[in-house]
C-alpha cells in the first residue's frame, strides 16, 4: 500500500482506491478534471470511448482517499509549467485531478507503472494492471448480485457481450442466478 504520510503516497492511494471503486478505464482516470468529481455525491463524470459521457459512483473509501489527496494537490499545482492542456472535452481551464511531482497531468504510462509497482510490492501475482482492476471491479459486482446491464452501464460498454467477457461469467454463476431468480427453478 502507498505511504500515506507522503503527499504522493496519498495521491497513489486515491488512484488505486478510485480505480477499484469505479472500474474506470486508465485513460478515463488520467483524464479526470476537478470539475468531473463530485465528492459529496461520490460520483465522477467520465468521457469514455466514443465520446460518450457517463456518471460513475465510487465508495466512501475512495472519497476519503480523494479528499486527502486534494488537500495536498495545490502544492504540486503551483509547480506546473503553464503548458496548454490537450483535452477531448475542451474547457476554459482544465484542472487535472491527478498530478505528477512537477504539477502536470499524470500520463497513462505513469499510472500503469504505479499500479504495477504497488501490486508487485504486496502480491505474489504478476501482471496485475489497471485493466485487471477494471475486470475485478466488474467481476466482484456480478458475484455480489449486480445486474449485468447495470455493470455494462458502469463500465461504459456499448455491447453486453463485452461486459460478459469482463465479468468472467461462468456456467456455475449463471446456474446459481437462475436458481435464485426463476420462480420454478
The pTM (predicted TM-score) of the whole model is 0.76
Residue 52 — φ and ψ, nearest 5°? -85, 130
Other CB atoms within 10 Å distance of the CB of residue 49: 11
Print pLDDT tens along the chain (185 aa): 888 889 999 999 999 999 889 989 999 999 999 999 999 999 999 987 877 889 999 999 999 999 999 999 988 875 554 444 455 555 556 899 999 988 899 999 999 998 888 877 776 566 666 777 777 788 888 888 888 888 888 888 878 877 777 666 666 666 777 888 888 77
Domains of the chain in start order, with CATH, are: 7-181 (1.10.443.10)
Give 72: exposed, middle or buried? Use CB within 10 Å, 0-12, 13-18, 19+: middle
The residues with which 37 forms a beta bridge, in sequence order, are 44
Integer Cα distance of 49 and 157 in angstroms:
8
Q: Are strands 53-57 and 43-47 parallel, antiparallel or unpaired?
A: antiparallel
Strands of 43-47's sheet in order across: 37-38, 43-47, 53-57
Three-class DSSP category at 129? coil
- Which positions are catalytic? 25, 49, 131, 134, 157, 166
Amino acid at each position: 500500500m502507498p505511504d500515506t504520510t507522503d503527499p504522493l503516497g496519498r495521491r497513489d492511494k486515491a488512484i488505486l482506491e478510485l480505480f477499484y471503486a469505479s472500474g474506470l478505464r486508465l485513460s478515463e482516470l488520467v483524464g479526470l478534471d476537478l470539475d468531473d468529481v463530485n465528492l459529496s455525491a461520490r460520483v465522477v463524470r467520465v468521457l469514455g470511448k466514443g465520446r460518450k459521457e457517463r456518471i460513475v459512483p465510487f465508495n466512501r473509501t475512495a472519497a476519503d482517499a480523494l479528499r486527502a489527496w486534494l488537500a495536498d494537490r495545490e502544492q504540486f499545482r503551483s509547480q506546473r509549467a503553464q503548458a496548454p492542456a490537450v483535452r477531448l472535452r475542451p474547457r476554459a481551464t482544465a484542472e487535472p485531478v491527478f498530478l505528477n511531482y512537477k504539477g502536470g497531468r499524470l500520463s497513462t504510462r505513469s499510472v500503469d507503472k504505479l499500479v504495477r509497482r504497488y501490486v508487485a510490492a504486496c502480491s505474489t501475482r504478476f501482471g496485475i494492471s489497471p485493466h485487471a482492476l477494471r475486470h475485478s471491479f466488474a467481476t466482484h459486482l456480478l458475484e455480489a448480485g449486480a445486474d449485468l446491464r447495470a455493470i455494462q452501464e458502469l463500465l461504459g460498454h456499448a455491447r453486453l457481450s463485452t461486459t460478459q467477457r469482463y465479468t468472467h461469467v461462468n456456467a456455475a454463476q449463471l446456474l446459481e442466478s437462475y436458481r435464485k431468480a426463476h420462480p420454478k427453478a
